[in-house]
Amino acid sequence: MTATDTTALDTTPQELAALAAELATAVGEQVQRMREDGVAVAATKSSATDVVTAADREAERLLVEAIVRARPGDGILGEEGAGREGTSGITWVIDPIDGTVNYLYGIPAYAVSVAATVVDPHAFADGRRAVAGAVYNPRTNELFDAWEGGGARLNGDPIRVSGVADLGLALVGTGFGYTVERRTEQAAVVARLIPRVRDIRRIGSAAYDLCGLAAGRLDGFYERGLNPWDYAAAALIAREAGAALLGRDADTPPGEPLLVAAAPGLAEQLRAALG
Ligand code: IPD
């Protein structure tokens, strides 16, 4: 399979970014209203701590409805089960609430993530790459957006990754999966890494973490076990802000096996330090 030629699409990455931003903001505002009305766990997924709230489901339903209305020929892949084949070459990869546990506890680090992706077997491990995306944190009213080749923005202003190139001075974000086996492995990696970096942050939303990296609030980020909806929009935002994205090794694109993101001078050092 070859990568989609974006010039053959019926729209431009910039227009797709505008739509992603509009949808993420509108649904994010709704997510915030639902939070103010109270929140409860609706179901669990991979483990008892991997929760879904009614707001996750409602937000995904709203996103799907709006995408189908705006672009009926596009496909959709959503965290809470949305799946729709498209005919246009574009598939929207959506996470209605990334950072659901923060949402549940009222910690202000959760976001709605909306990405327009195309087929690209080499860019990411899931075989797709975002050409436009937006991530909106409704608690902080921060909208991050990017389109391919257009740079990255926070609330309309350009953002850039930090210039830290020394691992020993790097503030590194990461995340942990929900199963005991995955967490046990991840704890061992953090134990090896923490003596070698400035410090570690576990903020709790991979999408928001990657956007934070794009804005220079973190110097590096890595996580194993991410799903496409966790990183689709935010990895584009990080790349457009100047980050290098690496996978587990030179032959594996970034994605589920490992995603490392950092300024180009730091990314290889960070990957090597994960062991
Ligand atoms: C999770 C968050 C978390 C990351 C997990 C993800 P969710 O997504 O992004 O930071 O460490 O791997 O599953 O469950 O809040 O949508």
Binding residues for Mg(2+): 79, 95, 97-98, 230
Q: Which atom of ligand 1 is nearest to the CA of 230?
A: 9
Within 71-222, residue ranges assigned H as helices are 100-105, 180-193, 206-214
Which residue ranges in the chain fall short of pLDDT 70?
none
**Residue 73: predicted pLDDT:** 97
**Residue 48: predicted pLDDT:** 84
- What is the reported pTM? 0.96
CA of 219 to the centre of ligand 1 (A): 20
- Assess if CATH 3.30.540.10 describes domain 6-158: yes
Residues 248-273 as b or e (16 or more Cβ within 10 Å = b) = beeeebbbbebbbbbbeebbebbbeb
Tens-place pLDDT, residues 114-133? 999 999 999 999 999 999 99
Q: DSSP character for 2?
A: -
* Alpha carbons 126 and 262: distance in angstroms, whole number: 20
CA of 254 to the centre of ligand 1 (A): 16
Q: Which atom of ligand 1 is nearest to the CA of 176?
A: 11
Q: Where in the chain is the domain with CATH 3.40.190.80?
A: 167-273
Report the Cα 81 to chain-centroid distance in Å. Answer: 17
Q: Where in the chain is the domain with CATH 3.30.540.10?
A: 6-158
Write the CATH number of the domain with boundaries 167-273: 3.40.190.80
Tens-place pLDDT, residues 143-172? 999 999 999 999 999 999 998 999 999 999
Residue 48, C-beta contacts closer than 8 angstroms, at least 6 positions apart: none
CA of 98 to the centre of ligand 1 (A): 6
Q: Which atom of ligand 1 is nearest to the CA of 101?
A: 15
